[in-house]
């Protein structure tokens, strides 16, 4: 049996029998599948939020092995973590750094996204210290209304980049708001606005080297959005952006093909006890045992990313290949599960919160449906004190330990 206690978590040795298992072969498979789907467009692997909770350096290395041409993160700190792990691939910053962060970004070879004149000025100042042009990309807001240059201000920003000897315009991009709803016409509206922005720039003699618009949903469901590059996050980890996209990859490729979920979340039963019918469990005593039953304690709680409301939403785990109800309110460090009359269950038995056991499976999508959210939030919500274990070797590079 592999050691599931882990290695350092936040600098401390992980001794609790609870862990996330990440299959790097699944990440490689997903990257390769997405690359085939969108070819000749290139694949950018989005590894922000610590690789959606999977571990950014490890996932980044596997994604590059699988065919990704570059990486993307949200924060300069995330890019620096990749560099500290020995990853030399191009890293695109998806938001414009502050002036202070811009200096760090440029010094470590990260590619800033710009969309304000203040950002252009900060990038020029940071790049001047290097003595060579620094590649940057410009984002235009086509309707998401989060970040990006306003269309009427885009030309000013791009001309400022193009005219700056310290900078090199490496790309122009936008982000799609409803691509996960395949029949929503607004995706077409955004793509038309993006093409208009490109035409305005071309009229001024400016043609960016790369143009890109597609996120995972855009890459899967909107071929017109693939352009030169697609930025895939959730699909890289083996999950569709929405249930509406089921079957789209298979139909596009004309062959059986599917994404492989890379993450499983497991623990071992800490304690098992038998309680009489009518006994109530956990805070608030909201869960009542209908019959005499065994209950087990799992050493994970809401601080680890098991939402407190999951129990009242009908949440379950797998023990002994069977579904078991979460018995009462999730507490900070532990949950209680109803084992029924199964006297074969023992402390130390494996518990699966997300993943497969025997013929049963609990998915991140199931959690999301119960909680009224999306799989992204479920995966990113798994806390940093849960160690990540890595399976699926064969990496060609990077600094990836077997566990962290």
Question: Active-site positions?
Answer: 48, 283
Whether omega for the bond prior to residue 40 falls within 30 degrees of 0, making it cis, is: yes
Q: Compute the Cα dihedral for 215, 217, 219, 221 and give only its sign.
A: negative
Alpha-carbon distance 11 to 25, whole Å? Answer: 27
Distance CA 320, CA 342 (A): 9
Residue 154, SS3?
A: helix
What is the token pair recorded at 327?
């018995």
Q: Phi-psi category of 30—alpha, beta or left, where left has phi over 0 and alpha has psi -120 to 50?
A: alpha
Please name the helix (run of DSSP H) or strand (run of DSSP E) that holds residue 73, with its range, or none.
strand 70-73
Backbone angles phi, psi at 133, to 5 degrees: -65, 135
| Helix 117-128 with 99-107: angle, nearest 10 deg | 40
Residues 332, 333, 336, CA angle at the centre, nearest 5°?
Answer: 100
Terminal alpha carbon distance of the chain: 18
3-state secondary structure of 293: strand
Cα separation of 246 and 238, whole Å? Answer: 12
Do residues 94 and 72 touch, judged by C-beta distance below 8 A?
A: yes
Instruction: Give the closest residue to 293 by CA, choosing from 350, 323, 337, 352.
Output: 337
Closest listed residue to residue 263, CA positions, set 25, 33, 23: 23
Nearest to 123 by CA among 87, 173, 168, 77: 168
Instruction: State the Cα–Cα distance between residues 51 and 239, nearest whole angstrom.
Output: 13
Q: Is the dihedral of CA 286, 289, 290, 295 positive or negative?
A: positive
């Amino acid at each position: 049996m592999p050691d599931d206690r882990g290695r350092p978590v936040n600098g401390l040795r992980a001794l609790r029998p609870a862990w996330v298992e990440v299959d790097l072969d699944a990440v490689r498979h997903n990257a390769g599948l997405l690359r085939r789907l969108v070819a000749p467009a290139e694949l950018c692997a989005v590894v922000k939020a610590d690789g959606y909770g999977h571990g950014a350096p490890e996932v980044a290395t596997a994604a590059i092995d699988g065919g990704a041409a570059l990486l993307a993160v949200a924060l300069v700190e995330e890019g620096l973590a990749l560099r500290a792990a020995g990853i030399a691939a191009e890293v695109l910053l998806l938001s414009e750094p502050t002036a202070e962060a811009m200096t760090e970004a440029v010094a470590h070879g990260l590619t800033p996204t710009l969309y304000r004149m203040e950002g252009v000025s900060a990038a020029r100042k940071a790049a001047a210290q290097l003595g060579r042009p620094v590649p940057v990309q410009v984002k235009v807001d086509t309707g998401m209304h989060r970040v990006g240059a306003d269309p009427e201000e885009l030309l000013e920003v791009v001309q400022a980049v193009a005219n700056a000897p310290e900078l090199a315009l490496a790309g122009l991009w936008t982000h799609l708001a409803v691509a996960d709803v395949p029949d929503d016409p607004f995706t077409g509206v955004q793509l038309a606005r993006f093409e208009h922005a490109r035409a305005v720039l071309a009229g001024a003699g400016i043609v960016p080297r790369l143009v890109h618009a597609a996120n995972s949903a855009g890459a899967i469901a909107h071929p017109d959005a693939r352009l030169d590059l697609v930025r895939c996050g959730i699909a890289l980890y083996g999950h569709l952006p929405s249930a509406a996209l089921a079957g789209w990859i298979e139909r596009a490729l004309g062959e059986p093909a599917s994404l492989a979920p890379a993450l499983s979340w497991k623990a071992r039963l800490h304690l098992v006890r038998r309680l009489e019918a009518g006994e109530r469990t956990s805070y608030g005593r909201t869960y009542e045992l209908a019959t005499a039953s065994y209950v087990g304690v799992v050493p994970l709680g809401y601080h680890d990313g098991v939402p407190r409301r999951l129990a009242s939403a009908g949440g379950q785990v797998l023990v002994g290949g069977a579904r078991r109800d979460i018995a009462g309110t999730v507490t900070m460090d532990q949950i209680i599960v109803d084992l029924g009359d199964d006297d074969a269950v023992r402390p130390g038995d494996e518990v699966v919160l997300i993943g497969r056991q025997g013929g049963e499976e609990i998915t991140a999508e199931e959690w999301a449906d119960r909680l009224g959210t999306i799989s992204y939030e479920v995966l990113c919500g798994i806390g940093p004190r849960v160690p990540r274990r890595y399976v699926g070797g064969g990496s060609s590079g990077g600094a990836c330990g077997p566990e962290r």
